[in-house]
Structure 1
Amino acid sequence: MISGLNAANAYSAARTAVAPQQGSEALARVGQAAEDFAAQMAQVDQVATGAMTGQTSTQQLVLTIAEAELTMNTVVAIRDKVVEAYQEILRMPV
């Protein structure tokens, strides 16, 4: 029979086993990807402003927007996969 104390001990043991590690390489890569995405969007803003003021060519603007669109599609695809995985976890019986 499972008592409250046994369940608490099992929970404590399992919690440390599945806790994310500090300084994890995967977490660092996610953070770097977010910073790269923000930098890409900032570059689009700068190029768009330059195109409006005549300092940047239309060709450069189109190229930058195409790169930003590809980046945005990648981010959205990753977000969709994360949401899908989260929903799958919620459907798991406990």
Structure 2
Amino acid sequence: MTNVNFAAYSALNTVKPADQAKPAAKPEETGGAVSEGFSAFKQTLQQAEQTAIQTAVSGADPHAMVQALANAELALDAAVTIRDKVVEAYQELLRMPV
């Protein structure tokens, strides 16, 4: 699993010291990060699908298929966890007294 394509995990490897950190992202920049995350997620799932098809049709390397499917499963688990946290935060907002 050395080839994880999910952007959240690559961000962990690029941590900078506090004195060199750039200022906080502006709200308009956040949309770009979300968009990049969705495109990376989509690309990971498409790559896993293509690898599985190639393995089934032409008998390509089964280890590559297992690795691609593991990456897709990891990305899907992360997306589900993020979705659950967003729904939980929304429900907390609904419970707040007005």
Give the structure-2-normalised TM-score: 0.69
Q: 1:56 deviation in Å? A: 2.2
The alignment of Structure 1 onto Structure 2 pairs a total of residues equal to 72
Tell me what 1:6 maps to: none
Higher Rg: 1
Higher relative contact order (CA 8 A, sep 6+): 2
* 1:84 to 2:91 alignment: no
Gaps of 5+ in 2: 1-26
The percent of aligned pairs where both chains have the same amino acid is 39
- State the alpha-carbon separation in 1 of the partners of residues 61 and 82 from structure 2: 32
The structure in which a higher percent of residues are helix is: 1
Which residue number corresponds to residue 64 of structure 1? 68
TM-score by length of 1: 0.72
Q: Where does structure 1 lack aligned partners over 5 or more consecutive residues?
A: 1-20
Displacement over 3 Å in runs of 4+: none
Q: Is 1:25 aligned to residue 29 of structure 2?
A: yes
Paired residue type of 1:27 = G
2: distance between equivalents of 1:49 and 1:81? Answer: 33
